[in-house]
Structure 1
């Protein structure tokens, strides 16, 4: 039995992964943005171990999420699933950060640094990362004209940079990043072409399986298989720049491996 924490577990792929892991007998800690959503998801998944409440767009609330998770003990696996999509209008958080960046990119960094180190980490990217800005220019969108699809693509590349950096810095953790495909969730829309049933199989497998093939690190996976990705993500200097940037925004440093 594994103890698994999943961000963004109230609907979509996070909910589906939670449901499958609970069915397999694992202890699942859910995350919800607010109390109302937390109550609803517990009604739907009454066998979940707990639900942790907090808005990932807020640095202070993300701190609180990490603290609440740690109070429940050390996780075997953390699935960083929460994210917002590629049609978001420009808006800033209470910390004066772009909303998409705060949730998709910065929150996984903060939680990784603050949650007790698990045995397995799974991050969520997208095929759209291929269009991401590999030079990490103007992450606050203060100069460029807002482009929601480009901003989303940037964050999905940043998820890969984070996962690859962690896999090097924490060699004792199985750390990977997943593309679930373009599927018919609230984010993906009703006409998305990929297989919804397969969209969470890799996250569930990586977080819970004892198969040798699941105990891997530093991979970008789609449907449990390696998938091609933007080669710039292999650049260690670029990975370190992203990590340093997140540290400068939060004053939180990744613990040594």
Structure 2
């Protein structure tokens, strides 16, 4: 049994991930913006705990990190929360997982939702901010910390997941991919025996198989640029 945090679990992939983990007997801490946004209120009776915060608010995200630490060290964190709203995308898709990861006790594993759209993202952090851009940046963050496993984040295994274009509130009813397949990889990465996952850290996954991410995500110079930008933007280093 693992203790797993799932962010953005009020609906869609996050709710499906939390529900699957519960069905498998794991202790789940569910994060959502508010209890009223959880589409299946019954799941709230099954979880180990809940935490509510608006991840588009930096101060609220910092406070959330402190609140979540009271649950103890997580075996895994699934950074699922995301938005396509350009005015909020950088904060929710990139800053929030950065802040939570820096301020919380390092979990054994971190699984971060990326997207195939990251392949068309821009490396211009000053002018970018589209959904594609932010998924490129957060995937770079994953690869940077996976590469620093023996240094800055020694206790955490890092993975990024492309869940596909699935029929959620964000993806739209006409999305062509399978919602079930869209969350299975996250559940597996969060809970499978470490020896079953290859590579053990730094993978970019789609439906249980690794793919090559955008080459910029593996560029040490761009990795450092992303880390420096986030530290400056947040005041959290």
User: Residue by residue, what CA displacement relative to the aligned partner does 1:46-93 show, whole Å, maximum 9, x if unpaired?
Assistant: 2100110100000110011111110111111000000012xx3x5xxx
Aligned residues: 232
Give the equivalent residue in structure 2 for 1:10: 10
Give the equivalent residue in structure 2 for 1:161: 140
**1:123 maps onto 2:112 in alignment:** yes
Give the equivalent residue in structure 1 for 2:166: 183
- Distance in structure 2 (CA, Å) of the matches to 1:42 and 1:186: 17
Give the equivalent residue in structure 2 for 1:242: 226
**1:55 maps onto 2:54 in alignment:** yes
Compare 208-217 and 229-238 and name the one that shifted more: 208-217
CA RMSD, Structure 1 to Structure 2 (Å): 1.6
CA contact (8 A) 2:19 2:43 kept: no
Gaps of 5+ in 1: 91-97, 141-150
User: Residue by residue, what CA displacement relative to the aligned partner does 1:73-118 show, whole Å, maximum 9, x if unpaired?
Assistant: 1111000000012xx3x5xxxxxxx311111111110011111100
CA contact (8 A) 1:32 1:54 kept: yes
Compare 242-251 and 204-213 and name the one that shifted more: 204-213
- Distance in structure 2 (CA, Å) of the matches to 1:171 and 1:64: 24
> Given the alignment, which residue of 143, 157, 160 partners 1:174?
157
Deviation at 1:171, TM superposition (A): 4.2
- Distance in structure 2 (CA, Å) of the matches to 1:245 and 1:84: 20
CA contact (8 A) 2:5 2:30 kept: yes
Deviation at 1:165, TM superposition (A): 1.1
TM (normalized to structure 1)? 0.86
- Distance in structure 1 (CA, Å) of the matches to 2:55 and 2:183: 21
